[in-house]
Structure 1
Amino acid sequence: MRGTKSIRYVSLACLLTLFGSIVLSGCTVNSNDRVPTPNMGVNPYRVNTGFLLRNAVERGTLRIATERDYPPFSYRGTGGILTGFDVEIAEEVARHMELKAEFVETEWENLLPGLTEGKYDAVFNQIEDRPDRRALYDFSVAYLSSTPVLLVHSSGKAQIRAFSDIKGKRVGLNPTGIYKDMAKRYGAEAVPIKYISDAANKLANGDLDAVISDQLSVTNLKQQFPEMPVAAAESADRVSEISAAFVKGNPDLVAAVDNALATMQQDGTYLTIWNKYFGDAPISYKGIHDRKVK
């Protein structure tokens, strides 16, 4: 009987110890159990993933890659401060997650590979969500959409009214986008020019016959330089949906960013940034709720 009684005492002691541990753990704030913000609507630790969101919460920062050299989306503004539409959207996403945006600047060709190498948590830099990229990366909901446009001199002296008219013409374009392929398809002479402002100036001066760029860059250009004698002649039959990109295996981080973007749409933060760069032109894309549901 003594053996049985001793066993009971030991079992009771174990239960009390276990209960005490549970109570204490319930009263102690554990950073690994913390949800960054109620706006996220998800528990970032309920899914076994690559732990990028957990690490971000523990650091207090969301590491975001950007090209830094692609206005109006990411560039060095007044005083050399990093700014742009994508930069401000990323900053607000981090703030809505109760994190600080920590930007990592790199070249365009290194943006996505850097995700795989673990150099940062996300890329906000005009990355199009495409099926071929989804084999290696995950994407947030689209935070804007755009389409290629043909920019011509507003005088019409080049007699270019459509993409079909640029055969043999000198067409300025950013060589890192899809525009080089478009120029080749229509038989144009592609002239690599990184910045749309430079290309538009050459077009206005007669050094180019046309420019291929994206609709939003053209909208921003006209907002900054309304008197520049250039106009959009035709929009391509192609819509690009732009999203934040992530390395695969972090659905909690993707969900957190998606929820932050949705909250930004609801509280007006998104529209404030949108109007700053693109105004309220009729061709402007009004927000992520207008996007095509995937």
Structure 2
Amino acid sequence: MKTLLKSWLTAALFIASVSGAHAELLDEVKARGTLRIACEGSYPPFNFKDDKGNLTGFDVEIGRAIAAKLGVKPEFTTTEWSGILAGLQAGKYDVIVNQVAATDKRREVFDFSGPYVISYPQLIVRADETRKLETAADLKGKKIGVGQGSNYAELAKSIAGAEVRTYPGAPEYLQDLATGRIDAAINDSLLIPYLREKTKLPVKAGAPIGKPDSNAIPFRKGSPKFQEAINKALEELKADGSYAKISTRWFERDVSKPLAAR
């Protein structure tokens, strides 16, 4: 009886120790057979719904390619930018593939892959804008629209005298920009050509502002095997030409490489 009781206690302690431990994310993904990927779904050309309602875009194709390299299926969740990082922290998905800048502040909470896109912040202004809106001094007293919780919001707040207005995502502040409710917006430079070519909003590219961003894929801390697997997948996509093919389809160049100095 004592031997049996001892066995039960040993088993119980083992189960408790395993369940209390932080499981490696790669093991979970492999066992599940899916990589749960979050994106906004309303951020063209990175991720958006096409005319048939299908999720598409650069980030979507990269996410699918990474999942294939891991030997699992992609499972996408779309959510507003304002809550996307909180959802990752809560474990609602495994990764975010949505142009997330790997800032020092975010690295305190999440681990990141290596950079997979290098771009820079850029002002967006109305198509008929004639005022000089190029430097921080030009933006003093101006209303600037940015995504809530984005690194562009932090950049805008650093501009002395600017009035910063935050929005759930790009569609909302671009609409306000087009109608004159704000003077300018800040977003990824790679977004501008798509807006110019694919939408009818009366907006245009403004001046580059701030420093270049290295965008990467965040996931929960403490999964080194997963981090290694994601980085290996990205390296293989670049080596076999898949990344360049996807990037060129959406941006007419390889966006893993920085542009020449402007």
Instruction: Place the TM-score, normalised by the shorter chain, in its bin.
Output: 0.7 to 0.9
Distance 1:113 1:210, change over 3 A: closer
* Equivalent AA in structure 2 for residue 222 of structure 1: R
Is residue 42–residue 171 contact of structure 2 (8 Å, CA) maintained in 1?
A: no
CA–CA separation in structure 1 for the residues paired with 2:88 and 2:126: 40
Closer, same or farther: CA 288–259 of 1 in aligned 2, 3 Å = farther
The 3-state SS of whatever aligns with 2:52 is helix
- Give 2:76's match in structure 1, choosing from 78, 103, 110: 103
Structure 2: segments with no counterpart, 5+ residues = 1-20
Q: Which runs of 5+ in 1 are unaligned?
A: 1-47, 281-285
Distance 1:208 1:49, change over 3 A: closer
In 1, Cα distance between equivalents of 2:80 and 2:129: 36
Against the structure 1 CA distance between its residues 200 and 106, is the aligned structure 2 distance closer, same or farther, given a 3 Å change threshold? closer
> Which whole-Å CA distance do the structure 2 matches of 1:136 and 1:190 have between them?
25
Contact 1:153 1:230 in 2 (8 A): yes
Distance 2:167 2:255 in 1: 29
Question: Distance in 2 between the 1:106 and 1:205 partners?
Answer: 25
Of 154-163 and 164-173, deviating more is: 154-163
Shift >6 Å, 4+ stretches: none
Amino acid at match of 2:235: A
Q: Which amino acid aligns with 1:188?
A: A
Q: Which position in structure 2 is the counterpart of 1:220?
A: 194
Local SS of the residue matching 2:148: coil
Are the counterparts in 2 of residues 139 and 254 from structure 1 also a CA contact under 8 Å?
yes
**Contact 1:203-1:230 within 8 A present in 2 as well:** no
- TM-score, normalised on structure 2? 0.75
Tell me the percent identity: 34
Deviation by residue 1:36-94 (Cα, 9 ceiling, x = unmatched): xxxxxxxxxxxx97232123223321122223333332332222222222222111100
Deviations 1:181-205, CA, capped at 9 Å, x for gaps: 4444232333445554665566566
Q: How many residues align?
A: 238
1:161 aligns with 2:134: yes
**Structure having the higher Rg:** 1
Residue-by-residue CA offset, 1:268-289 (whole Å, 9 max, x unaligned): 2212222232224xxxxx3436
**Partner residue of 1:78?**
51
TM-score, normalised relative to structure 1: 0.68
Asked whether the equivalents of residues 102 and 214 of structure 2 are also in contact (C-alpha less than 8 Å), the reply is yes
